[in-house]
Structure 1
């Protein structure tokens, strides 16, 4: 026979727990004449059995039901499914922690977080030691902070010798410029890259141009191009993020952004850049949009991962109106603009493939090239000419 303190020591439970178990009818003590409660070996064994059932994930109530009657198989099946679900969640948690320690792939996690909390995600990456430029690159390119350095090294090797870093053509740039209803005096070009559009704007206007990009090497090439074209006195380069530009309100009468507003989110760009325009100023912006209501599954899956915020022309126009713009005109960028970007890109990828056979950056570019070759009519860039 055991007093409650002895029983507690025997089964490794507290006195309070044993009293609760007794209240639930799992054990039954016998009170002696001296007032002490005593318990039998049967109670010890019953408690051992309860502990084993609890280890299987059952509640005390379910344990009692199993002890007092035949096992309810449906109850056990339900509990088993709950445990399987919990194990799956725990495994996902473990995989995330391991990946954060550099022992796994983080790309899916980064994409998932960015889809629901893009600003907080970017701020978190900055706190992990990434400069904002690298945080934005990680978001759109490598998608895995553990592999980011090698990924970007391969990526920049591909693009270092390419003039265009996105779809575009001189004809489309000039077509959009012809739709601007006034002769601009102060132009801000955001995401200027190596300055192909910048040079055209300089050659076809008399405006002072401020060209912004966060890649210093691209701005150096732009400066060379401006010097060659005799435009160096009218083109100023600024290396900064499009999310934090150091310009006063109403500084420009024309803002130009081809193929890069997605970096901060087009809707965010509409709002953030509105204040930089003078009253009646013009925003010219191109963005990737769906050109069909029923894209193929392969194309849809690719862009849902690559550009989750991709919308339709009408969705972008609705966002522009909400941000305080009026539509001047809009048109679909020509297929020549795509060819001018992707054909040199495909050639460059093949040039460096032998020395980077296992590069994830090249694998991702291969996927993008395949989408371009097989699905281009389903999507395209749309040029928007908007008035403040």
Structure 2
């Protein structure tokens, strides 16, 4: 015979729990003349069985049903399904915590956050100690806060040796410039990089040009070039985030952005930059797009690796028709648009591939190097499936 305190100690349960079990009829204590409750070995064994059933994830009600009648198989099947879901959830939770501690990659987590909560993602990264520029680079390039510094060091080892940081050519820049219906007087170039387009604009317009980028070394190189060419007095460089430009509304009659608007999102750029344009001002930007026919049959026209690469690296990549609709919805009239020439692609990817080959011994095995190799492979597998498209738009 066991008193309630002895039973509680033996089973590792509280007195309150045992009284509750007795209320439910799971055990039946006998009250002695002195007022104490006593329990038998049968009660001990019944509660031991109950605890083992509970260990399988069954509720107390389900355990009682199992004790008093034949076990229902359907109930066990459903409980097993719920338990599997819980285990999967906990495994994911563990994987995330391990990744945040640097034990595995955070890439997928960052990509999911950026897709569903982009502004909160950037704000959170900045709270973790990344400045605004680092947070944007983490979003678009490294995609892993634990390995960001090494990734960017490897990435810049390649790009600091390149003049162009994206597809383009002087001929394509001049083609777009020729579509502007007035002589530009104040040009804002966003994402100028080392300033190849800046130099073309300076040489072929009388405009004062404000060239912005968030990479100080690129702007320093551009300043050196412009001073050597005698354009320094007409061109001002500003280190700034394209999503938070420090300029008054209606400050420019032309905004120019080659290969960079994707960083903040092209549709967002259409809306955010419009206020900086004067009445009837012109926005010129280039963006990577799927060709219409390819977009309709992606699985057939593009190999799996190429499709997977761009869906990961540029999930917002869409067609010309979608971009034109977005521009019109944002308050622009379409003046013209055209695909960049093959020369524009080769002007970027030729030196890029040569630079990677030159640094193979130094960078092979690095994640940044592997990502850049995948980009080169996607370029060679292009086969007309995607283009860089230049858009010339007028503020309505």
Q: TM-score range by the shorter chain?
A: over 0.9
1:301 matched residue in structure 2? 308
SS, match of residue 326 in structure 1: strand
The structure-2 alpha-carbon separation of the partners of 1:364 and 1:116, relative to structure 1 and needing over 3 Å to count, comes to: same
Report the CA distance between 1:229 and its aligned residue: 2.7
TM-score by length of 2: 0.93
CA RMSD of aligned residues (A): 1.7
2:96 matched residue in structure 1? 96
SS, match of residue 90 in structure 1: helix
Distance in structure 2 (CA, Å) of the matches to 1:32 and 1:139: 72
1:114 matched residue in structure 2? 114
1:330 matched residue in structure 2? 337
Report the CA distance between 1:376 and its aligned residue: 4.4
SS, match of residue 82 in structure 1: helix
2:320 matched residue in structure 1? 313
What's the CA shift string for 1:62-94, capped at 9, x where partnerless?
212222233333432332232222222212111
Aligned equivalent of 2:351, options 341, 344, 357: 344
Report the CA distance between 1:252 and its aligned residue: 0.4
TM-score by length of 1: 0.95
Pick which of 96-105 and 158-167 moved more. Answer: 96-105
What's the CA shift string for 1:279-322, capped at 9, x where partnerless?
11111111111112222333322111101111111221222222
1:195 matched residue in structure 2? 195
SS, match of residue 381 in structure 1: strand
1:366 matched residue in structure 2? 373
1:79 matched residue in structure 2? 79
Report the CA distance between 1:5 and its aligned residue: 4.0
Distance in structure 1 (CA, Å) of the matches to 2:32 and 2:274: 86
Pick which of 244-253 and 23-32 moved more. Answer: 23-32
1:377 matched residue in structure 2? 384
Pick which of 248-257 and 72-81 moved more. Answer: 72-81
SS, match of residue 331 in structure 2: coil
- Aligned length, in residue pairs: 388
Report the CA distance between 1:7 and its aligned residue: 2.9
Given that 2:53 and 2:63 are in contact with CA atoms closer than 8 Å, whether structure 1 keeps it comes out as yes
The structure-2 alpha-carbon separation of the partners of 1:318 and 1:32, relative to structure 1 and needing over 3 Å to count, comes to: farther
Distance in structure 1 (CA, Å) of the matches to 2:341 and 2:25: 79
SS, match of residue 287 in structure 1: strand
Report the CA distance between 1:32 and its aligned residue: 4.9
2:127 matched residue in structure 1? 127
Report the CA distance between 1:37 and its aligned residue: 4.2
Query: Once superposed, which parts of structure 1, at least 4 consecutive aligned residues long, lie more than 4 Å away?
Result: 31-37
1:179 paired to 2:182: no
Structure 2 unaligned regions, length at least 5: none
Distance in structure 2 (CA, Å) of the matches to 1:141 and 1:354: 22
Given that 2:306 and 2:377 are in contact with CA atoms closer than 8 Å, whether structure 1 keeps it comes out as no
SS, match of residue 382 in structure 2: helix
Given that 2:289 and 2:387 are in contact with CA atoms closer than 8 Å, whether structure 1 keeps it comes out as yes
Distance in structure 2 (CA, Å) of the matches to 1:160 and 1:271: 31
SS, match of residue 54 in structure 2: helix
